[in-house]
Amino acid sequence: MLLEAQKIRADFPILKRQIGGKPLVYLDNAASSQKPQSVLLTMNAFYQVSYANIHRGVYTIAEEATELYEKARETVANFLNTKTHREIIFTRGTTEAINLVRFSWGRKNVQSGDEILLTEMEHHSNLVPWQLLAQEKGAKLKFIPFDSQGKLVLDQLDSLLTDKTKLVAMNFVSNTFGTINPVEKVIAKAHAKGIPVLLDAAQAVPHLTVDVQKLDCDFLAFSSHKMLGPTGIGVLYAKEKILEAMDPFLGGGEMIKEVHWDHSTWNDLPGKFEAGTQSIAEAVGLKAAIDYLKTIGLEKIHDHEQALARYTMEQFSEMKELTFYGPPPKDRCGLVAFNLQGIHPHDVAAVLDRSGICVRAGHHCTQPLHRKLGLEASVRASYYLYNTKEEVDLLIDALKETTRFFKK
């Protein structure tokens, strides 16, 4: 079921843009999304009317700014259905959120000989931080494998979760296959052995209804810029009890309760993890983005994107020179990675750009995944609520043209 895309598109100023006389076809939403007018206007208005630093000033606009910032936190908390807004930590993005867990939780809880269980389809941002922690502590990384459809193989999960496993860190939705991973199953099995689970939800929160209490995940990280919001802000959700027991991340202002020459005590949650001046306008912008997503409805957005992915895969199936990766449409979000035989992904993307079509070419920060497939890189088209079937047709036409051009 497709959304009324034309109505939605009118809310996104950049979509009026032309590239070399052709309309912009933006199909790189898994990398970052475009912003609706409401987000831009809200941030602009905040700077023009209420801007000041938060949590300190006692004057009117400082109070207003603080209120708007905390209102944003409440909005995120409601959006994820957390028990309390104290479980929402604002970070710079998914990467910083995962690294926060690495430093504040990992250093304390992972020791020599311990194991961290990941999957073979992690984005580098949920792989490299754990490599660094494992190197520091002498711990070991293990991986849940994926099959030829880009789906996780859970047969061996019981033996992968050992007495030494201290954490499971996995992506909710794969940024390369588009697979919606069976995170509930993994969480249930991990919890049965008392192991906490971190979800990299960068590709999930923008596209799916995410309820952290229902999922029962222990940590969850995502970025604002992939869900219609501004760059420079993201979220770490963690269960309150876990956050309370964690060491601080960055030291500085706001994260303290009392400071002496030689020691300090820590602020209550969430301030304990928010040292320094935060991305205030960005938090306000993120709230506007969530408000916008809610007016459309995440279920409808997911259906729309999945329908576009299904249509794309149907068209791709008829192109013999094209190979695409990942599971059937029903198991995925709205993205499709592929290759044109004998043409490097960068060349495909460069030729598509001539038609105003923006796709990602490269390893999408999943180099080990590509290596396992025997690939250096791939092309990826990723959809969001403002994309249309007509845009998929333009993509297909341009890909056929690309093949003709390089084969001539």
Candidates 138, 139, 165; CA nearest to 156 is: 165
Q: Which residues pair with 144 in a beta bridge?
A: 119
> In this structure, what token pair is assigned to residue 186?
């993994």
Q: What secondary structure, in 3-state letters, does the chain show?
A: CCCCHHHHHCCCHHHHCEECCEECEECECCCCCCCCHHHHHHHHHHHHHCCCCCCCCCCHHHHHHHHHHHHHHHHHHHHHCCCCHHHEEEECCHHHHHHHHHHHHHHHHCCCCCEEEEECCCCHHHCHHHHHHHHHHCCEEEEECECCCCCECCCCHHHHCCCCEEEEEEECECCCCCEECCHHHHHHHHHHCCCCEEEECCCCCCCCCCCHHHHCCCEEEEECHHHCCCCCCEEEEECHHHHHHCCCCCCCCCCEEEECCCCEEECCCCHHHCCCCCCHHHHHHHHHHHHHHHHHCHHHHHHHHHHHHHHHHHHHHCCCCEEEECCCHHHECCEEEEEECCCCHHHHHHHHHCCCEECEEECCCCHHHHHHCCCCCEEEEECCCCCCHHHHHHHHHHHHHHHHHHHC
Q: Integer distance in angstroms from the first to the last C-alpha of the chain?
A: 39
Q: Which of 107/354 has CB closer to other proteins?
A: 354
Q: Which of 304/360 has CB closer to other proteins?
A: 360
Catalytic residue among 217, 333, 358, 365: 365
Task: Provide, rounded to whole angstroms, the least separation between the CB of residue 401 and other proteins.
Answer: 9
What does the alpha-carbon distance between residue 125 and residue 116 come to, in Å, rounded to a whole number?
15
Q: What is the largest CA-CA distance in the chain?
A: 74
Q: Which of 20/194 has CB closer to other proteins?
A: 20
> In this structure, what token pair is assigned to residue 141?
């990384």
217 assigned to active site? no
Q: Which of 310/344 has CB closer to other proteins?
A: 344
Binding site for other proteins (CB under 8 A): 344-347, 350-351, 354, 361-363, 367, 370, 376-377, 405-406
φ/ψ of residue 88, rounded to 5: -105, 115
Looking at the annotation, which residues are catalytic? 365
